[in-house]
């Protein structure tokens, strides 16, 4: 769509929202059902697009993209009646007789800007909350994942109500044109740098935002951790989607007494997961494009790779790589890696590890591996992160009833499950009073009697 046509599209959706197209609960349910059908009936098309963009296997595409989104739809449909039900709250005695309640109402026309790393899930999953809350939405899939962007743009008009859901493809000019408009909410998933641009644009219209960003998510491996299980879960979480996951462990802090054993177990685990010839493993994805490939290879310069380190630009392949003896001031420790590279640093005391995390930006996720309750609570209680997991990585974001989002530079706002519905809703406060009786307690003149009563009941 040419950028100059985008304002007219926005105005059309605004008119449709004001006409009440999206408000009926039946419409919301129908649209969620249509979204589920879009995914199920075009599973192969979407899997092929994910393969073309990221080299994803059908299994990984289903678990992390398609099946994940279907589960989110099913959870929403199962609970939507409860979420839309007005919530009665108590009313102070002085204001009686009266009834007070909170109603969730849709915001209006929302913008959802998706990233390239999970290009289907991360544009359609936020749409679930937008539809459940009764909004119109414009979807902007990432142009970096071109095959998935095309698939979404072709499929959405066939399944979703065009009066309420539209897709705008393109790059910077189209995104910039969208950000000039006074949306009622903007939901953005991507880098912290671009998140700042989105927030600046939204501020011009006082548009609320949900920013799902990233950061360097640490994994703390204490001396009492089950190292075999720890290695498996670190490797799985790190190498899923070739490390191009916002909550992938970005670096490991391991107790100095366990470093060598952990590295050995990681090496063994990589081999058991992907075989001796990783390049030909159907379960190992690829880097999205040359630009990101070159950035990742640049991060390896001057580093000591205990595992891997090899790469091939023609096939966008980078070996699973573990770095040791890493200087905390090096470039690989200054930016989110977003690839299959895992620096391992050591610590002597738990306080040292906690201080290391706290000296840096608040991460999107934090992982602690320990079998000691006091250690677990010390880490969770003395650090701040968008989310956390104990003796696991990544999976906390797949629990529908857990809000998923960042804190500080790793993002603001959250979604998934009911939190998605609330992200795209306004909780309207309503008080209703009958007119049959009209006590004059709050009306002038303010007599001593009224003052005395009011002080007792307020």
> What residues are annotated to the active site?
212, 246
Distance CA 286, CA 244 (A): 9
CA-to-CA dists, residue 133 to 104, 109, 129, 210, 425, angstroms: 8, 11, 6, 15, 6
- In contact, 436 and 101? CB cutoff 8 Å: no
> How far is the CA of 443 from the CAs of 52, 392, 446, in angstroms?
71, 61, 7
- Listed residue (192, 187, 191, 136) closest to 164, CA to CA: 136
Q: At how many degrees (to 10) do helices 121-133 and 25-41 cross?
A: 160
Report helix, strand or coil for 438: coil
Of 93, 177, 79, give the one whose Cα is nearest residue 133. Answer: 79
Sequence-distant (≥ 6) Cβ neighbours of residue 100 within 8 angstroms: 88, 89, 90, 91, 429, 430, 431, 432
Q: Assess contact for 135 and 16: CB atoms under 8 A.
A: no
Q: Which residues contact 444 (CB under 8 A, 6 or more apart)?
A: none
Helix axes 67-84, 25-41, angle to 10 degrees: 170
Distance CA 317, CA 427 (A): 48
Element at 406 (helix H, strand E): none
- Whole-number Å distance between alpha carbons of 379 and 289: 36
**Which one-letter DSSP state was computed for residue 362?**
P
Cis peptide before 69 (omega within 30 of 0): no
- Pairing between strand 209-212 and 185-189? parallel
Q: How far apart are the first and last CA of the chain?
A: 58
CA 448 to chain centre: 57
CA distances from 130 to 225, 268, 304, 380, 383 (A): 41, 44, 46, 32, 32
Longest dimension (CA), the chain: 89
């Amino acid at each position: 769509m040419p950028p100059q046509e985008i304002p007219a599209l926005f105005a059309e959706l605004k008119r449709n929202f004001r006409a009440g197209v999206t408000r009926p609960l039946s419409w919301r349910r129908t649209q969620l059902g249509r979204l589920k059908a879009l995914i199920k009936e075009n599973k192969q098309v979407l899997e092929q697009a994910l393969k073309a963009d990221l080299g994803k296997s059908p299994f990984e595409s289903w678990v992390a993209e398609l099946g994940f989104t279907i589960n989110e739809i099913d959870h929403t449909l199962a609970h939507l009646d409860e979420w839309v039900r007005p919530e009665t709250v108590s009313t102070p005695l002085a204001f009686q007789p009266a009834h007070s309640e909170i109603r969730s109402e849709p915001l209006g026309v929302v913008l959802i800007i998706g990233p390239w790393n999970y290009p289907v899930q991360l544009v359609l999953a936020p749409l679930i909350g937008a539809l459940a809350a009764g909004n119109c939405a414009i979807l902007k899939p990432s142009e970096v994942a071109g095959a998935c962007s095309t698939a979404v743009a072709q499929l959405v008009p066939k399944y979703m109500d065009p009066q309420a859901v539209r897709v705008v493809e393109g790059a910077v000019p189209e995104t910039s044109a969208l950000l000039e408009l006074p949306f009622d909410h903007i939901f953005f998933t991507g880098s912290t740098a671009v998140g700042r641009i989105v927030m600046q644009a939204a501020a011009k219209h006082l548009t609320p935002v949900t920013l799902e960003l990233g950061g360097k998510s640490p994994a703390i491996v204490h001396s009492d951790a089950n190292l075999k299980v720890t290695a498996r879960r670190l490797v799985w979480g790190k190498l899923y989607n070739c490390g191009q996951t916002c909550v992938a462990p970005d670096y490991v802090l391991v107790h100095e007494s366990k470093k060598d054993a952990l590295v050995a177990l990681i090496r063994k685990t990589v081999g058991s997961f992907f075989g001796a010839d990783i390049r030909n493993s159907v379960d190992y994805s690829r880097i999205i494009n040359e630009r990101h490939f070159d950035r990742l290879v640049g991060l390896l310069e001057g580093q000591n790779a205990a595992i891997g380190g090899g790469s091939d630009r023609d096939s966008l392949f980078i070996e699973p790589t573990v770095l040791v003896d890493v200087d905390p001031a090096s470039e690989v420790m200054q930016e989110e890696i977003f690839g299959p590279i895992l620096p391992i640093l050591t610590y002597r005391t738990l306080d040292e590890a906690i201080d290391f995390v706290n000296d840096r930006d608040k991460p999107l996720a934090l992982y602690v591996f320990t079998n000691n309750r006091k250690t677990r609570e010390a880490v969770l209680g003395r650090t701040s992160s968008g989310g956390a997991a104990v003796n696991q990585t990544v999976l906390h974001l797949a629990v529908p009833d857990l809000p998923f989002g960042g804190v500080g530079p790793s993002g603001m706002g959250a979604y998934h499950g009911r939190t998605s519905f609330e992200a795209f809703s306004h909780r309207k406060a309503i008080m209703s009073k009958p007119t049959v009786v009209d006590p004059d307690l709050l009306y002038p003149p303010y007599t001593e009697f009224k003052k005395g009563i009011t002080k007792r009941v307020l």
